[in-house]
Amino acid sequence: MKKASTKKTQGDDDTMRAEYDFSGGIRGKHHRALQAGYTITIHQPDGEAVVKEVKPQEGAIVLAPDVREYFPDSESVNATLRSLIKLIPNKRRSTTKRKGH
């Protein structure tokens, strides 16, 4: 007969500790600032500080969570947008192309 496992697995303890109070928190408070890029400073044990600049990839577009449910990857987003582009009248499409160059 196999013994029951006594190891805790992730998700076994869903209670929040009393000292963690997020009641005054604001979801997404720094979202816009992080999209613009940020700096990380890593302090090494020898006293040296390593600074890393984190910039979003050029052309990166962030989808809202409700939209992400329908578009799990870049291919699905691009396919949908291409089908919408076909619906734009030709006159409007040529005007948009000129503005982009």
Question: In this predicted structure, what is the pLDDT of residue 3?
Answer: 58
Distance (Å, whole) CA 38 – CA 34:
6
pTM across the whole model: 0.40
Are the CB atoms for 51 and 40 separated by under 8 Å? yes
What is the residue-averaged pLDDT of the chain? 80
Judge whether residue 27 has pLDDT over 80. Answer: yes
Q: What is the mean pLDDT of residues 66-86?
A: 92
Question: In this predicted structure, what is the pLDDT of residue 60?
Answer: 81
Distance (Å, whole) CA 38 – CA 59:
17
